[in-house]
Amino acid sequence: MIVNTQDNLGMKGHLSISKIFKDGTEELVFDDKNVIVSGFGWSLAYLFSKTGSDRITDFQIDRFQVGVSGHQGNQVSSTYELSGPLSSVAEYVGDGVDSNVYSFEAYQWKNGQAYPDSIYGKIPSSKITKIDDRSVRYTILLDEDSCNGLTRDGSDAYLNEIGLFVKNPQADNPECSVLAAYRYFSEIKKTEDFGLIFRWTISFG
């Protein structure tokens, strides 16, 4: 099922990305609208028709992926996956000692099929904030110890895409998530010199 959520449901999104340094200062590096993809509408169709999960928590956006192969061509509502999502928990958390990111493996719906071995970062409930009656903000922090030293084929790799995911709209076991929103952004080489804060607002109507 393809549902154009921006046109038919009046949904829109906005993403800002800032570098945050150890002294607490921030540098805005990206600020623009994002694409609400058809997977969000697909999930809502299951919710409204009561044919999916009977747990409202399964329809929450509570996880994300970042990637290193994003491109402008993915800025369309039919996008269902990141081009180059990080491929292991270690790429998110490094040695895992100091990183604030909880990363885990789960299934993902891609073009109508469930695939294993997708890696996600968890969005804590404390970082999901109601702005007003129509808007919710998701705040994602990749601290100084997260997502550093990324490589592909022996060369440095740069973060340049991010996606938000609905948890498990069909109540699959094991749970299977679906891409809800996507954004390509200018390349950022993540190092231990700074953290990244993604502030992603989704508005209804």
Domain-located, residue 10: no
Nearest-angstrom CA–CA distance, 71 and 75? 8
Domain span at 110: 28-204
* Length of the chain in terms of residues written: 205
Give, in order, the Cα–Cα distances in Å from 67 to each of 45, 105, 173, 195.
28, 15, 26, 16
Give, in order, the Cα–Cα distances in Å from 145 to each of 31, 60, 86, 93.
24, 27, 15, 7
pLDDT in tens, 79-123: 999 999 999 999 999 876 678 999 999 999 998 899 999 999 999
pLDDT in tens, 43-69: 999 998 988 999 999 999 999 999 999
pTM of the model: 0.92
Pairing mode of beta strands 11-21, 194-204: antiparallel
Domain-located, residue 9: no
Tally the domains of the chain. Answer: 1
Domain-located, residue 15: no
Domain-located, residue 13: no
pLDDT in tens, 129-155: 999 989 999 999 999 999 999 999 999
Alpha helices in the chain (DSSP H): 5-8, 38-49, 89-93
